[in-house]
Amino acid sequence: MDGMSKRTKLELAYKAHIFDVYNDYLELPDGRNVIYDYIDHVDGACILPICDDGDMILVSQYRNVIDRISYEVPGGCMDEGETPDESARRELREETGYLVDELDYVANTVLAIGSSNEHTAVFIGYGLSKTDVSPDENEFIHVHKLSVKQVDEMIAKGDIVDSKTLLAIMAYKAKNVNS
């Protein structure tokens, strides 16, 4: 026994818009058989835009899964054939109306590793310039320019809970502490 589970079957249970849900049949290292949920999700990209004065741009929108407003970095699903940096630039423009000169790659993260294979590329963006905003038709997004202190307070109060957003903010702060 090598300590790894072995997939014996993957069975489609539900087909949705941006993900499919499967029953994932596994044989555990001890020989027992189990069924896990497996969400096959489109990959995404996000970006933490940093203004010349060090302030951050976040967006807010209602998120049904938490039934409240969420403050997040701009981001979303990658379009077919799109690279992560192209996706991050597109999402930034669509959601905030900003263009970015410089992208700093932070990480590729799996946001819900216990149930989904969705990978999200995380970037920090510098050299912002304003253009037209063009959100998706079902997105009602508000743009916020926030100081690092304001963002810290929002995290402490539980106003920022999105994992990719927390990762991007912490990576930015770590980079600036260590520079």
Q: What is the mean pLDDT of residues 130-142?
A: 77
My answer on whether 73 and 24 are in the same domain is no
Task: Give SS3 for 128.
Answer: strand
Domain interval for residue 23: 6-41
The pLDDT assigned to 175 comes to 84
Q: Residues 144-160: pLDDT tens digits? A: 999 999 999 999 999 99
Residue 1, in any domain of the structure: no
Q: What is the mean pLDDT of residues 10-35?
A: 92
User: Within a 10 A sphere around the Cβ of 168, how many other Cβ atoms?
Assistant: 28
* Total residues belonging to the chain: 179
Percent of the chain with pLDDT over 70: 94
The pLDDT assigned to 1 comes to 42
My answer on whether 28 and 59 are in the same domain is no
Instruction: Please give the tally of structural domains in the chain.
Output: 2
My answer on whether 114 and 143 are in the same domain is yes
The pLDDT assigned to 59 comes to 97
- Two structure tokens written together for 26: 């596994």
Average pLDDT for the chain: 92
CATH number, position 153: 3.90.79.10
CA 86 – CA 33 distance, rounded (Å): 42
